[in-house]
Structure 1
Amino acid sequence: MSETGKKSLVVFQDKTIRRTLHNDEWYFAVVDVVAVLTDSVNPTDYIKKIRRRDPILAQGWGQIVTPLSIETAGGVQKVNCANVKGLFRIIQSIPSPKAEPFKQWLAQVGYDRVLEIENPELAQERMKELYEQKGYPKDWIDKRLRGIAIRQNLTDEWKARGITDERDFAILTAEISKATFGMTPSAYKIYKGLNSPNQNLRDHMTDLELIFTMLGERVTTELSKQEKPTSMPGHKSVAQRGGRVAGNARKETEKELGHSIISEENHLSNDELPGIGEGEDK
C-alpha cells in the first residue's frame, strides 16, 4: 500500500477504521466505526436499523454523513464517512454495551464544558493539562496560553470592527506573520515540516517565536483600538504595521544573538494528540 494509503487507516482495538481528509478535517468510514462498536456481522444492515430506530438521525443523515473516496488495500472506494461530531451523533443511537463508554465520555465532556463556561479558568487549566500530557515544558506552556489570550483579544477586536469572514481573519493573520517573520503561516508550517491540517503552527514554535508572535498581535490590537479601521484595507495596514514592530524587534534580537530565531524546530514527537489552540493558523 502507498504511504497515502497507510495514512488513510487508523487502528482502534486492533481493528482498522478507514479515514480520509476532507475540508481539512478527518472523516471516518461510518461502517467501520459501527463494526468496531457492535461486532455486527453485517454493519451495513445495522446502520439501516439504527436509522429506522432513530427518525431524527435518519432525517439529518445527509448532513451528518458524506460519501467520500478512500484509498485502502483494496483500492479507492466510495464510502459513507462522518467527522468526529457526526460520529458522536451516530454513536448516541447505538445500544451496544461497547458504545456505552463513548456515551458516558460525551456526557462528561458536555458537563465539563458547562463548568468551563461558568468559570473560564477551568478551561485554561484543562488546556494546560493537555499540553503537559503532550510533553511540553511548563515555561513554554505559560507563553503558549498567554499567546492564546492575546490572540483572542485580537480576534475580538477584529469582530468589533466588522471582520466576520474566516478568510478575512486568515488574510490579516498572514499580514502580521509576513511582517513579523517574513512568511505566512502556511509557508511557516512548510518550513517546519508540518504537513497535517491538524498541526497547529504555534504548538511547534520556540519560546522566542511565540514571544514575537504575541508582540505582533498585541501591537496590532492596540493600533486597531486607537485607529478604529472600518475597511479591509484599513485593517490590513494596521496588521502590517503591528507585525512590522515585531519584525524589527526580531531583527534586532537576531543581530544581538548572532543567529536567526526563525527555527525549523517542531514537536512532531508530541503530535499524536490533535492540535491544541485557537485556530489561528491560516
Structure 2
Amino acid sequence: MTDKLAIFKGKEIRRTLHNNVWWFVIVDVVAALTDSVNPAGYIKDMRRRDKELAKGWGQIATPLAIETSGGKQKLNCANTEGIFRIIQSIPSPKAEPFKRWLAKVGYERVQEIEDPELATKRTRELYQAKGYSEAWIEKRMRGIAVRAELTEEWKNREVGESREYAILTAEISKAAFGVTPSEYKQLKGLDRENLRDHMGDLELIFSMLGEAATTEITKAHDAQGFDENRDAAHKGGKVAGDARQQLEETSGRKVVSNDNFLEQTEKQKRLGRE
C-alpha cells in the first residue's frame, strides 16, 4: 500500500492505495466537511441518526494501516463510493455542494441510460476540455466503440468479468506491442491514469486493430470460455503486432514509446503561446 495525502478545502485527507483502489480516512473527510472538534464522535452520532448507514457500515468502513504521528495505525477508510454515501449523511452546509453534484451526476447517468448518445457526447466534450485535438478524439472514440464490442463478445462467451478481462487484454497488448498494459504504463511514467488517454495516433490505431481482429477471430472460431478466448486474443494481438513491426521496419521509427501524448500536446500549446 502507498500512503499519500489529498488536499481538500485546505484540509489534508489521508489516503492509501489498497488493491489498486484509493481508500480515504473517514475521520479526515468528516473533519474537512464539518469542522467538528471531535470528528470521531460526529461519526458515531451520524451512524445513530442514519440507521441505513449504520446497517451497511461494515461494508463501507475498512480498517487499513495509515501513517500517523505515532507510526502506522489501523484507521477506518472508505473507497470513493463509500465516501459518497457518508457525505449523503452529513447535514453540514459544506457537504451540500457535494450532494448537489452527486444528484447532478445521478441525473446525467439516468439520461445516458435513456439516450446512450449523450454519454458519447459528454466523453467527447471532456476530451476537448482537456486539450486533445479533434483528430485524436475521433480515434479515441472509435477505439472505445471497438473495445465495447469486444467485451460484449467476451461477456456472451462465458468469460468472467474484471480479472479475466484484464488477462485477455494483456494477451492482446503483449502480442501487439510486446508489453502488457501495466508495463506500458510504466514505460510512459503513468500511475493510475488511463493508458489510452496518453497514447499517440499510431498507438491508438494498433490498439484498435488488435481488439477488432480479436473480435473477428473470436466470432469466426466461435470461441467459448476463457482458454479459447485467450487463444483468440493472442492471435488478434499478433495481427496488430505483425502490422506494427512491418511499419517500424519500413519507416525506421518505433511505435511503442515513452512519449506521453497529452503532455506533449500541452507542451506544444505552451510553446505556441510564448
TM-score by length of 1: 0.89
Residue of structure 2 in register with 1:106 after alignment: 102
1:10 aligns with 2:6: yes
Contact 2:176–2:244 (CA under 8 A) maintained in structure 1: yes
For residue 258 of structure 1, what is the aligned residue in structure 2? 252
Q: 1:232 aligns with which of 218, 226, 236?
A: 226
The aligned runs of 1:212-223 (5 Å cut-off) are 212-223=206-217
Matches within 5 A, 1:114-263: 114-194=110-190, 196=191, 198-263=192-257
Which fold has the larger relative contact order, with Cα–Cα distance below 8 Å and residues 6 or more apart in sequence?
Answer: 1
Unaligned runs of at least 5 residues, structure 1? 271-282
After superposition, the C-alpha distances for 1:30-69 in whole angstroms (9 at most, x for unaligned) are 1111111111111110000000000110011010011111
Post-superposition Cα deviations, 1:228-271, rounded to whole Å, max 9, x if no partner, equal 1124332122111111111111111112211111110125759x
1:175–1:240 contact (8 Å) kept in structure 2: yes
Q: CA deviation at 1:193?
A: 1.6
Matched, 1:95 2:110: no
Task: Give yes or no for contact 2:150–2:214 (8 Å, CA) kept in 1.
Answer: yes
Whether the 8 Å CA contact 1:9–1:72 is kept in 2: the answer is no
1:89-112: CA deviations, max 9, x gaps? Answer: 111111111111111111111100
Contact 1:18 1:72 survives alignment (8 Å): no
For 1:30 and 1:237, how far apart are their aligned partners in 2? 44
**What letter matches 1:179 in structure 2?**
A
Q: Paired residues, what number?
A: 263
Q: Tell whether 2:41 aligns with 1:45.
A: yes
Counterparts of 2:216 and 2:181 in 1: how far apart (Å)?
A: 22
- CA RMSD for the aligned pairs? 1.6
Specify the SS of the correspondent of 2:257: coil
- In the aligned structure 2, how far is the partner of 1:90 from the partner of 1:80? 13
1:56 aligns with 2:52: yes
Structure 2 Cα separation of the partners of residues 231 and 64 of structure 1: 34
Once the two structures are superposed, what CA deviation does each residue of 1:85-139 show, in whole Å capped at 9, x if it has no partner?
Answer: 1011111111111111111111111100000011111111111222223222221
The one-letter code sitting in structure 2 at the alignment partner of 1:212 is: F
Q: Give 5+ residue unaligned stretches, structure 2.
A: 265-274
Please report how far the alpha carbon of residue 72 of structure 1 lies from its aligned counterpart in structure 2 after TM superposition.
4.6
